[in-house]
Amino acid sequence: MSFRALIGHRQTVDRLMRAIARGSLPPTLLFTGAPGIGKWHTAVATAQAVNCLDDDARAAGDACGTCRSCDRVARGMHVDVLPIAPDDKASIKIDVIRDVLARTSYRPFEGRRRVVLIRDAETLELSAQNALLKSLEEPPDATMFVLVTSVPGALLPTVRSRTMRVRFAPLTVDEVTQVLERDHGHDAGPARAAAALADGSVGQALGLADADVVALRDAALRLLSEVAVRTDAPARVQAGDALLTMAGGGKKERSRDELGVVLRCAAALLRDLEAINAGVDRRVLAHPSLEPTLAALASRFGGDRARSAFASVDRALYALERNAGSKVVTEWLALNL
Ligand SMILES: [Zn+2]
């Protein structure tokens, strides 16, 4: 994937492109940021850009994404681009690093730059990190290293100090939605519902792929709409109990995981209600398609109510994750929103 085709991280990617176009990209880079936000895709795009065969793309510091070299990098088949990932024990051993370093001791075969890409670099064993130090300090001719990690603190300070740090921020809800639609074939509605819960991470949004997030979000919205107008305890308890079963035929019980998603949806909706009450630009809402409904509901959650409801949802999630009974949790929540 070329830099142009990446969704999000515009400033970071522009900086990388300018450095590549000028030929001033440092040979040792450390990409950091939360899991599932596109660091690895950017690392692969970097390897493509420095080896692309298309003159125009190269002049812009980008990859064309389609030439023989770009294609091979994308398929992990480029002889000079060496991707390393943790083994099935979730670690990268010194043997793997020694082997790669041996291959960096001569000039690239067909590319202009040899690029060593290290995924989940925090899983490098200490001996492997030590073995890397000298090469990071003085990279072999025409060789560059890109270490990718969400836990930079797990790397030796000596490794960190020898690399140039490139920080990646979480994606926006819009950007996660775009990635789900374009790269994973999700429909717009479910993509946005999942993105609203994903903390800016495509990886997290994909983790919700099996859940019918739209239905779970609607259940959360029904709860908030009910408690907004009901003050009597029996009605609220009933609204809480309604979360335990699916709407429609069969009254099938919801799993604890599904209930967890309902609660996270409630939290995301409450954040939107607070945003509406604070008068922020409606375009930043996580659920723009629900704006009319949320706008009508917002006045019921004025003052500190949205925030304290948010805290209650958080407590309920905490209890649910620690195996409190589903019914106890949902009823308590309905009484405390
Ligand atoms: Zn190319």
Q: What is the pLDDT of residues 153-171, one digit of tens each?
A: 999 999 999 999 999 999 9
Res 248: pLDDT: 65
The CA 65 to ligand 1 mean position distance, Å, reads 5
Lowest mean pLDDT among 14-23, 205-214, 257-266: 205-214
- For ligand 1, the distance from its centroid to the CA atom of residue 11, given in whole angstroms, is 22
Structure confidence at residue 282 as a pLDDT band (50, 70, 90): confident
Whether the predicted pLDDT of 249 surpasses 70: no
pLDDT at 41: 95
Q: Ligand 1 center to residue 53 CA distance, Å?
A: 5
Where are the alpha helices (H) located in the chain, listed in sequence order? 10-22, 39-51, 55-59, 68-74, 94-103, 126-137, 157-161, 173-184, 188-195, 202-207, 213-229, 233-241, 256-277, 291-298, 305-321, 326-336
* Residue-level pLDDT at 109: 85
What mean pLDDT do residues 277-302 have? 89
Confidence (pLDDT) at 25: 95
In b/e form, how buried is each residue of 280-314, taking b as 16+ CB within 10 angstroms? eeeeebbbeebeeebeebbeebeeebbeebbebbe
> Which protein residues have their CB within 5 A of the ion that is ligand 1?
52, 54, 63-64, 67, 70
Choose which CATH entry (3.40.50.300, 3.90.45.10, 3.40.50.2020, 3.20.20.70) describes domain 10-167.
3.40.50.300
CA of 77 to the centre of ligand 1 (A): 14
pTM score, whole prediction = 0.83
pLDDT of residue 19: 96
**Architecture field, domain 213-336:** Up-down Bundle (1.20)
Is the CB of residue 130 less than 8 Å from the CB of residue 12?
Answer: no
